[in-house]
């Protein structure tokens, strides 16, 4: 029987690259995202099933999980997240709620919703965290806080799910060259200057690619004696 995979935020960046690699490995892949046009385009390019769902909307998450009700699911990749950077003085309660609803509550609710399907296959979950959990980032307290929650949640759920044979791990990418950097409205010259400064601080002296992170995610999914692990994909930054 063909294995199945669900990748949230699969319409771009790391999610797209992961869905592509899983498709190449003959998984039946479902991706989701908030933008209907982008989801449709990505699904067409990849030859996968596309679903419009906002991870910050509880009803959307429930409908997404319902697609697998009573069916086996081998892989869940919780990749969808928002990333905005602002000083604490500018953070509002609405910002806090949006970050934690999308980046923490949504993934947790989705795991809960598809757990029975994953149990049918002794399946595997990968949560996408971030290098900012272990390396402070000015103006990134909300984003870092959500990713720290994801890592702690991953370790505890690994202990909870082990008796039913479901594994859960996380990957923590560092500086990855994805379209998200262009969403901040910065001039291209500023983006290039910031990237050059960042690369100088990375031991491997370059940004990573979405394909490189996807390769680690799939390796983690296939590493059948691994659970509760956080694999850092950051060019050596965490070792500094």
- Our answer to whether residue 143 is catalytic in this structure is yes
* CA distance between the termini of the chain: 45
The catalytically annotated residue of 143, 195, 197, 225 is: 143
Q: Contact, 5 vs 74, CB < 8 A?
A: yes
- Our answer to whether residue 27 is catalytic in this structure is no
Tell me how far apart the alpha carbons of residues 40 and 49 are, in angstroms, rounded to a whole number. Answer: 9
Residues 6+ apart with CB under 8 A from 196: none
The catalytically annotated residue of 25, 71, 147, 155 is: 147
Nearest one of 3, 19, 5 to 214, comparing CA atoms: 19
Q: Contact, 199 vs 176, CB < 8 A?
A: no
Rounded to 5 degrees, φ, ψ at 233 are -120, 75
Positions marked catalytic: 143, 147
């Amino acid at each position: 029987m063909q294995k199945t995979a669900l990748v949230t935020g699969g319409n771009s960046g790391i999610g797209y690259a992961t869905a592509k690699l899983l498709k190449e490995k003959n998984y039946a892949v479902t991706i989701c995202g908030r933008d209907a046009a982008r989801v449709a385009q990505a699904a067409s390019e990849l030859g996968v099933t596309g679903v419009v769902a906002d991870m910050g909307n509880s009803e959307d998450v429930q409908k997404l999980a319902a697609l697998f009700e009573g069916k086996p699911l081998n892989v869940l990749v919780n990749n969808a997240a928002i990333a905005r950077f602002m000083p604490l003085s500018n953070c509002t309660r609405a910002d806090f709620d949006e970050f934690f609803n999308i980046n923490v509550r949504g993934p947790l609710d989705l795991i809960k919703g598809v757990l029975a399907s994953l149990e049918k296959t002794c399946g595997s979950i990968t949560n996408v965290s971030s290098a900012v959990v272990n390396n402070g980032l000015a103006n990134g307290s909300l984003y870092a806080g959500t990713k720290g929650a994801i890592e702690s949640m991953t370790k505890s759920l690994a202990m909870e799910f082990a008796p039913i044979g479901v594994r859960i791990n996380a990957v923590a990418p560092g500086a990855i060259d994805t379209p998200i950097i262009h969403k901040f409205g910065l001039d291209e010259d500023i983006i290039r200057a910031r990237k050059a400064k960042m690369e100088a601080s990375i031991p491997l002296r370059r940004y990573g690619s979405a394909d490189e992170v996807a390769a680690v995610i799939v390796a983690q999914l296939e590493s059948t004696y691994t659970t509760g692990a956080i694999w850092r994909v950051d060019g050596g930054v965490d070792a500094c």
